[in-house]
Amino acid sequence: MSPCQTFIEALRSQGFRITPQREMIIEAIAHSGEHISAEQVFAQIQKRTHSVNITTVYRTLELLVQQGLASRIDLGKDRVIYATHQHGPHIHLVCRQCGQVIDADPNLLLTLNDQLNSGYQFAADLQHISVLGLCSDCQT
């Protein structure tokens, strides 16, 4: 089953209607291959039709987050991107000066999760983590 169909079936099983607009939004995020902003989803859909507004995009993306199908990643400075869980857990290193986003080694999450479990008896949800700092270019 394709990622689109997986998302659609998951929403239907929870009683949500799949409108043509929702389907286009789901297709855009599922086929993005990486992180995508609501504005990028909206721009992709606008190339095909003008029957979807930006509010519908935001609401559908938040629905995917609420249903555990995607993550909302706050990059600071009012920048938000979304990612599906098909890519697995990973860490975003976000430069607070230039906005560059670097994906860090996901094995770092395993170490962090182990330490949180053993040291604090805390079961963390580590699907996507953003760490703010300065990239190598902005440190100079």
**pLDDT given for residue 138 in this prediction:** 95
Residue in the block written with tokens 């902005």: 138
Please give the class, per CATH, of domain 89-133: alpha beta
Query: For the chain, which residues make up each domain, given as ranges?
Result: 3-86, 89-133
**pLDDT given for residue 92 in this prediction:** 84
CB atoms within 10 A of CB 29: 26
Q: What is the DSSP letter of 125?
A: -
Summary mean pLDDT of the chain: 88
pLDDT band at residue 21 under the 50/70/90 scheme: very high
Taking the domain 3-86, which CATH number applies? 1.10.10.10
Over the stretch 51-103, which tens digit does the pLDDT of each residue have?
999 999 999 999 999 998 888 888 777 888 888 876 667 788 888 888 888 88
